[in-house]
């Protein structure tokens, strides 16, 4: 079985319980264990499509979370970082002396059961790049196991159970969870200030990424963006081989002769080892050229033929919530995007500028009070790239202290830049305003990592 060679605590596990089994990552791990013949149980706040699917696959799931959801003879309980110490199932597991693992630690153990674990890290672009690599490997019939932070259309979900050789996954830096991973091929796309409710500053973040890179074994490879500020701090003193990509010709992989079509899809030459290959992307935006360079470098490491790699990148049109075209309202194109950091917003709006439109509208929902406060001026600067901005109330996620931040505070800061900006405290008010305001050939982007996607869905519901 998948963890028999490297069982936590030296004990081969057969019965695993997941607190919050319906989460994106937790459900994927649970599905993998079910396919390997483990006895899987779990709990969640309420039944969902994800939990129903797991139940059909054989999982025993209880609602809501309570102590007696944990079966007798459970070997390990897996929980996410969001579970509090007073959670009744966590309390019960400790009372019964059951081993408790965080999701990240447990996933790290699962990865050790594969010959070539591949982990994609970085402040931005993880989901898209993981999707690109997955698409290439699927096209090459490599039969990868895949864990991705969005919906990948070719696998109709966020998780695919494949063979025992390749495991492709995102590696998130928040709470240093990726320090539990030991990839054979590690990728670092970029390193910028984010998650400042956890990290002290950019130096702390660089140290975190360096620790992640140190987990790559001596016979492994780090594929890293040479444009990263403080590159040597991240990539220095490593035992593995290093392959670079970036904008400069000094990088091992770089792009030349870039062209884009009317929908901001790029064609370019990949320059590597004195050779050039002409690549066309199916996703939008210049920022995806950089993501593609890392995916191409990974494909080369895996020995995937050029023709397969090129076709896969052209066929890949992105994951859900990454410049996703949702439909039209009164002739206005509605797009949804997950961007929630100034760098991501800038890249998305630069792409939108090249997309056919009359006026560019953005409905933005900032994600967490700490990020809003730390990057308030940066948010105002990049959002001013749009013709019109509508600020929703901030999505608090795990936070309760507003720190004096609100959607209206952001709206006022944007207006100081001379940009037409509005604030409405409810989605209903935003939707009513949009229905009355946007016209034919406008472009409206709902943007943020919270539940702002509901606005576009509601607007298009009766179309």
Active site residues: 126-127, 170
From the number of C-beta atoms within 10 Å of its C-beta (0-12, 13-18, 19+), residue 15 rates as: middle
3 state SS of 280: strand
Asked if 239 contacts 228 with a C-beta cutoff of 8 angstroms, the reply is no
Half-sphere exposure of 71 (CA within 13 A, CB side): 17
Task: Note the maximum CA span of the chain.
Answer: 64
Nearest 5°: CA angle at 184, between 214 and 138? Answer: 140
Nearest 5°: CA angle at 266, between 263 and 270? Answer: 175
3 state SS of 317: coil
- Cα four-point dihedral sign 247, 352, 168, 41: positive
Asked if 34 contacts 61 with a C-beta cutoff of 8 angstroms, the reply is no
Q: Which residue has the tokens 């990865």?
A: 111
Task: Fill in the DSSP letter of residue 4.
Answer: S
Other beta carbons within 10 angstroms of residue 316's beta carbon come to 26
Q: For residue 444, what are the CA distances in angstroms to 264, 393, 441?
A: 16, 18, 10
């Amino acid at each position: 079985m998948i963890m028999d060679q490297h069982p936590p605590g030296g004990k081969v596990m057969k019965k695993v319980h997941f607190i919050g089994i319906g989460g994106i990552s937790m459900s994927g791990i649970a599905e993998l264990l079910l396919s390997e013949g483990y006895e899987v149980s779990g709990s969640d706040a309420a039944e969902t499509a994800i939990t129903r699917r797991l139940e059909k696959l054989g999982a025993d799931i209880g609602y809501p979370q309570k102590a007696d959801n944990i079966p007798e003879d459970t070997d390990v309980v897996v929980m996410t970082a969001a579970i509090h110490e007073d959670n009744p199932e966590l309390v019960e597991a400790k009372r019964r002396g059951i081993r408790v693992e965080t999701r990240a630690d447990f996933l790290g153990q699962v990865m050790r059961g594969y010959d070539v674990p591949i982990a994609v890290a970085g402040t931005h672009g993880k989901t898209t790049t993981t999707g690109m690599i997955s698409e290439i490997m699927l096209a090459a019939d490599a039969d990868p196991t895949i864990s991705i932070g969005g919906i990948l259309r070719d696998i109709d979900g966020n998780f695919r159970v494949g063979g025992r050789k390749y495991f492709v996954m995102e590696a998130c830096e928040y709470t240093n969870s990726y320090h539990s991973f030991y990839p054979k091929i590690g990728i670092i796309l970029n390193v910028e200030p984010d998650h400042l409710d956890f990290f002290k500053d950019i130096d702390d973040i660089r140290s975190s990424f360096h620790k992640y890179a140190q987990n790559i074994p001596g016979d492994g490879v780090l594929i890293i963006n040479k444009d990263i500020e403080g590159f040597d701090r991240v990539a220095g003193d490593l035992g593995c081989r290093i392959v670079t990509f970036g904008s400069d010709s000094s990088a091992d992989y770089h792009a030349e002769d870039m062209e884009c079509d009317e929908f901001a899809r790029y064609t370019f030459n990949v320059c590597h080892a004195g050779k050039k290959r002409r690549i066309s992307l199916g996703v939008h935006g210049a920022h995806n050229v950089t993501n593609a360079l890392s995916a191409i470098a990974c494909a080369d490491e895996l020995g995937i033929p050029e023709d397969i790699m090129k076709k896969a990148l052209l066929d890949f049109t992105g994951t859900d919530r990454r410049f996703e075209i949702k439909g039209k309202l009164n002739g206005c194109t509605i797009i949804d995007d997950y961007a929630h950091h100034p760098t991501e917003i800038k890249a998305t709006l630069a792409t939108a500028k090249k997309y056919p439109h009359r006026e560019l509208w953005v409905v933005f929902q900032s994600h967490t009070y700490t990020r809003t406060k730390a990057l308030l001026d940066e948010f105002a600067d990049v959002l001013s790239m749009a013709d019109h901005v509508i600020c929703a109330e901030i999505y608090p996620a795990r936070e309760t202290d507003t720190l004096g931040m609100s959607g209206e505070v952001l709206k006022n800061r944007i207006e100081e830049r001379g940009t037409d900006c509005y604030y409405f405290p409810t989605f209903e008010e935003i939707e009513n305003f949009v229905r009355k305001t946007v016209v034919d050939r406008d472009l409206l982007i709902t943007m943020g990592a919270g539940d702002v996607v509901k606005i576009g869905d509601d607007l298009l519901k009766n179309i």
